């Protein structure tokens, strides 16, 4: 059940009505959310509801035991049990075949002939997201950063909360879980803001991402027959596709949650206006980057280590594991490793030529933004390509003389230029609001506009959403595969 589907519109309308009719009874509201979330998730494949149930029950019970125990060794063993259960489920469904194939490749390389034993495993939607969300709960209890909740209903509703269940934001229990213990009445001003943010998210998804997808899919699927100029267009469009797709989902999730009386964390903040890679990760998929910071990077020692080699190791491991979180393919691992390389280059430059050095070099902000965008876009090639070989071949072609081949004859095969023209205008529309509101909770802020302009902005968004939804149909969100 996709946010951009008619089924979801009907589903949410029913949930909304029943939810606020039961506002006087908190348990009834939470029970409705739990049932609704299980229906929402079961719409894809009801068999995987058992995985959410197992994660919820095990972490609820383990959390209570950790909280009550004063024995450090017992607490640690319980935490390891929680991590083992959660990563065991995630590892089997997402990474088994990857490790099986990689092991066989290594054995064959050393002369031991063997064949991999593959299992036909369907990847459960959103498993990486809710696994990290429930894991952070037991880790925070172990660190005594929060108390375990005795309320099973609230905890199960927290783990399976449908707006952010399958693609985030990855919420911390400290933020979201207490909100299930508060009665939630309908708040008109919050609902209005939620609707606005959801509309903006639908615009990003349906108008930007889904239109980019048509060109991106064709270009990447036929990369071996296209010149560098077309490949560059495909890569640039993918940069906007994945941003529109993923940040669009987050905006819809946050907007829907606001309508229901919940506040989720901001997940994107104009990432393509970042001035360096570190700034990019403060703005891109914030809930994941802060998760890896708090539960991987800092526990490894972070930047506090006295050893330069250790600090480099901490950065490389964190980014590489982050890449592997996205998918069981070497392309994602290289994507993460590339970001660690960019991060290390940035640190080295700051140490040599920063403002507090003997030879400070000041790079103009616009140039810093362009360099960062080019670096991020280059890495996206590995993220999108089906294999490392294809990604390398695409980069080689882009850097060749075919980069200067006229792309217009190739673009004509897509038919009328009307749709790409509207797409370019829409990307410009998005970029304008990103520039105007780069640090806002979401970029579509029009409250300061005069009423006619404000109405025109809303109407244009809605018309574009309706037109392209009817033209393109419903297309899955990219991050559902993670």
Exactly one of 218, 285, 326, 339 is catalytic; name it.
326
Residues with Cβ within 8 Å of residue 394, at least 6 apart in sequence: 223, 231, 235, 381, 385
How far apart are alpha carbons 344 and 356 in whole angstroms?
18
How far apart are alpha carbons 90 and 74 in whole angstroms?
24
Residue 448 — φ and ψ, nearest 5°? -85, -5
How far apart are alpha carbons 259 and 282 in whole angstroms?
26
Nearest CA among 283, 291, 278, 343 for reference residue 313: 343
Residue 311 — φ and ψ, nearest 5°? -65, -40
State the sign of the Cα–Cα–Cα–Cα dihedral 379, 381, 385, 390. Answer: negative
6-21 and 26-45 are packed helices; what angle lies between their axes, rounded to 10 degrees?
Answer: 160
Look up 326 and say whether it is catalytic: yes
How far apart are alpha carbons 335 and 458 in whole angstroms?
37
How far apart are alpha carbons 20 and 425 in whole angstroms?
39
Beta-carbon count within 10 A of 29 CB: 22
Residue 442 — φ and ψ, nearest 5°? -155, 150
Q: Which residues are catalytic?
A: 326
């Amino acid at each position: 059940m996709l946010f951009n589907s008619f089924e979801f519109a009907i589903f949410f309308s029913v949930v909304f009505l029943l939810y606020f009719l039961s506002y006087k009874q908190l348990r009834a509201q939470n029970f409705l959310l739990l049932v609704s979330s299980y229906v929402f998730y079961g719409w894809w494949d009801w068999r995987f509801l058992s995985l959410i149930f197992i994660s919820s029950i095990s972490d609820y019970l383990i959390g209570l035991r950790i909280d009550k125990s004063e024995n450090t060794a017992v607490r640690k063993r319980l935490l390891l049990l929680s991590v083992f259960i959660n990563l065991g489920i995630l590892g089997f469904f997402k990474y088994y075949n990857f490790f099986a194939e990689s092991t066989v490749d290594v054995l064959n390389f050393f002369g031991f002939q063997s064949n991999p034993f593959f299992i036909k495993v369907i990847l459960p939607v959103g498993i990486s997201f809710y696994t990290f969300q429930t894991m952070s709960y037991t880790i925070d209890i172990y660190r005594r950063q929060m108390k375990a909740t005795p309320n099973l209903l609230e905890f199960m509703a927290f783990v399976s909360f449908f707006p952010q269940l399958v693609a985030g934001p990855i919420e911390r229990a400290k933020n979201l879980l207490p909100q299930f213990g508060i009665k939630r009445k309908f708040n008109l001003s919050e609902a209005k803001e939620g609707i606005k943010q959801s509309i903006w998210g639908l615009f990003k998804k349906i108008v930007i991402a889904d239109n980019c997808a048509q060109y991106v899919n064709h270009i990447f699927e036929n990369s071996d027959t296209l010149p560098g100029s077309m490949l560059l267009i495909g890569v640039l469009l993918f940069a906007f596709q994945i941003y529109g797709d993923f940040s669009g989902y987050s905006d819809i999730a946050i907007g829907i949650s606001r309508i229901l009386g919940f506040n989720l964390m901001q997940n994107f903040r104009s990432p393509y206006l970042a001035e360096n890679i570190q700034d990019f990760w403060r703005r891109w998929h914030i809930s994941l980057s802060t998760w890896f910071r708090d539960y991987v990077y800092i526990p490894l020692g972070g930047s506090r280590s006295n050893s330069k080699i250790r600090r480099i190791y901490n950065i490389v491991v964190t980014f590489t594991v982050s890449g592997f979180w996205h998918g069981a393919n070497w392309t994602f691992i290289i994507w993460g490793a590339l970001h660690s390389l960019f991060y290390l280059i940035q640190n080295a430059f700051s140490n040599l030529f920063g403002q507090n050095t003997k030879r400070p070099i000041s790079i103009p902000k616009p140039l810093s933004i362009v360099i960062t965008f080019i670096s991020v876009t280059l890495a996206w090639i590995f993220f999108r390509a089906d294999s490392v070989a294809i990604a390398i071949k695409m980069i080689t072609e882009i850097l060749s003389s075919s980069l200067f081949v006229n792309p217009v004859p190739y673009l004509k095969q897509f038919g009328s230029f009307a749709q790409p023209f509207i797409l370019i205008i829409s990307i410009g529309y998005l970029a304008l609001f990103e520039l105007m509101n780069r640090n806002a909770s979401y970029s579509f802020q029009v409250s300061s506009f005069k009423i006619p302009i404000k109405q025109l902005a809303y109407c244009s968004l809605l018309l574009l959403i309706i037109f392209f939804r009817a033209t393109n149909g419903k297309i899955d969100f990219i991050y559902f595969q993670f």
